[in-house]
Chain A
Amino acid sequence: MIKTDVRLDDMTRGEIVRYLENTVEPEEGIIPAYIMSDPAVYDLEHEKVFLKTWLFLGHESEIPNNGDFVTRDLAGYSVIVSRNQDGVIRAFYNMCTHRGMKLCRADKGNKARFTCPYHGFTFKNSGELIGVPMQKDIYGGKLDFEAMGLHQVTIETYKGLIFGTFNDTPQDFSEFLGDFKWYLDIAVGRTDMEVVGPPQKFIINSQWKIGADNFVSDSYHTMVTHGSIAKLGMVPNATYSKKGYQVHTENGHGCNIGMPNPDFAFPEELIPEYKAHLSPQQFDMMADLKNMIGTIFPNLSFLVSHTEVKGKLISNTTVRLWRPIAVDKMEVITWFLVEKNASEDWKHRSRESYILTFSPSGIFEQDDTEVFTDITGAASGHVPFAKNYTYNYTMGKHRVPVKDFLGPGIVYDDKFTEANSRSYYRYWLDLMKA
């Protein structure tokens, strides 16, 4: 029977949460399609996930000099991330505290102070209000400058990655990343890394979780979705993506580690640097790494990819945000990172391989976007909800984690399992219930 009388948008928040608890069963591998498409779930997610957890804002190397700033989105709201005159990075809600005009409208720049285009209120890049036109005359000198500083946004950094949150009592940032730092170190903190160029941005008519979920656990799709890549000889064969490990830690984070690799995927002359930045166990893993694909809950994914381009092996490192714009639409924002001390030739070839494979024109990327769009379409509307159509996430449920792995977390000894997705949706559900 189709339940035309039950609709999430008629329910209270508490009723929606109970409905989720009864229908989303991560440990059983049962994920209902409606969580990808229901506007009520999307709205609740904004409050319970995006206003609660740490979200990625950018990389310290994007604002290397005092006065450098970028404007970024945090949970759907514009914020200014600025390196102040004292070298400290701070973030502010991008709104004049006088009458609410958006203060800064550039993506990036260098400014010691921001002047509002509406009435000329001027703020230092550390947030203090320092100038109001004709203030002595029109406010009688009584305007409280100190109370009118920009609204500060809480930020934290790890290995160059800047995260922020609007939550006044967020989880401790170090605990939030937890054991996953061990893997993040290899992906983005193996030595001094820098972002090259602005991030690339494009729109997909896709629910945001599909991207995050794809990167957290789905190595299986590589055989088919990315089958063209093996045909071109860029990777050894269509089943190369199975070899390695799948790992997840607490709080929904997880990654897939492609191993072994007969070749060293990174600039060899930087081995002393890697050894200085990593533990011996981390270096051992890195030295054998073919690729690394993962997600930091909820929507930051990262990728280290080693492929053959024009007869030469090269790796590239990227991070990407699946930024929700609507229940069925997201902006994908991709940053390219490279070792600061790599040779110019390496940096050039690494960027070239990124553009060719995982940029908006990337020959890996583009096949994924087609899948994400069509999953979103099929999940949308009343029928998938009313009929309780579900996805099957049971792959690898029969398997036992390996012991004595180099790194922490729950580890499986090949990548074809959906354990990471089960862990991701468990944490998602826990936050939705909280």
Chain B
Amino acid sequence: MSMERLLAKHIFEEWLYHEAKCLDEIEFDRWFNLMHPDLRYEMPVRVNKEGMERPDYATDMFAFQDDINTLKMRVERLKTEYAWAEMPPSRTRRFVSNVRVAEFEDHQRAVVNSYLLIYRSRSTDIEHDLISGERRDEFKYLDGDWKLSKRFFLVDQTTLNTRNLAIFV
């Protein structure tokens, strides 16, 4: 691995850890500031196909399919006094791993894949939810910072074993 690639891997690992911290600490405005205005934020529905047929996700149905405007609405909603789904907020812990920089042009753009495991604890429940999947992210460099311009989250369940997606992936 070249020094440039090694550095890029480090940069995006740090970026993803920082993002995880913002979300886990319910700092939605700080999190939202990490997004690029061109953002496409997608989570397709995973499907159970015959044999080895691929892709095993829907290309026409999504649990999230947001741009910067609808994502802004979600963030604003969570700040109203009626957002019951996350009041009080879930305790979440996002574990990011297997970070691979697939494409990288310094100060331009990057494609970064990683794995994500979200632990979610609600209220006084002793049971927890786990949401596992792969992120395929794209970044653009804007005003001295890397901003997320595309997130594609490939979840590992066809039936989501969590009561809602009032949290971000």
Contact = CB atoms under 8 A, between A and B. Distances in A.
Interface of chain A, main secondary structure: mixed
Given A198-B61, A232-B73, A365 B47 contact: no
B117 interface: no
Interface in B55-94: 58, 60-66, 69-70, 73-74, 76-77, 80-86
B161 A203 contact: yes
Closest 3 CB pairs of A and B: A197-B61, A227-B82, A361-B165
Nearest to B84: A367
Say which size band chain A's interface belongs to.
35 or more
Contacts of B85: 366-367, 369-370
Contacts of A23: none
A359 B84 contact: no
B98 interface: no
Nearest to B64: A361
Interface of A: 105-109, 111, 196-198, 200-205, 224-229, 231-232, 309-310, 331, 336, 351-352, 355-356, 359-363, 365-367, 369-371, 373
A359 B63 contact: yes
A367 B49 contact: no
A105 B84 contact: no
B45 interface: yes
A232 B163 contact: no
Given A202-B162, A232-B77, A356 B70 contact: yes
11 contacts: A198-B61, A202-B159, A228-B80, A232-B76, A356-B70, A361-B166, A363-B74, A367-B85, A369-B164, A370-B84, A370-B164
B49 A201 contact: no
Contacts of A310: 69-70
Contacts of A226: 82
A352 B65 contact: yes
Interface string B115-137: 00000000000000000000000
A363 B77 contact: yes
A108 B73 contact: no
A228 B159 contact: no
Nearest to A347: B60
Nearest to A352: B65
A227 B87 CA distance: 13
Contacts of A351: 61, 65
B63 A196 contact: no
B48 A200 contact: no
B160 interface: yes
B158 interface: yes
A362 B165 CA distance: 8
A296 B76 CA distance: 35
Contact of A205 (B45, B60, B163): B163
A355 B62 contact: yes
Given A106-B49, A225-B84, A310-B69, A373 B61 contact: no
B159 A231 contact: no
Contacts of A105: 48, 50
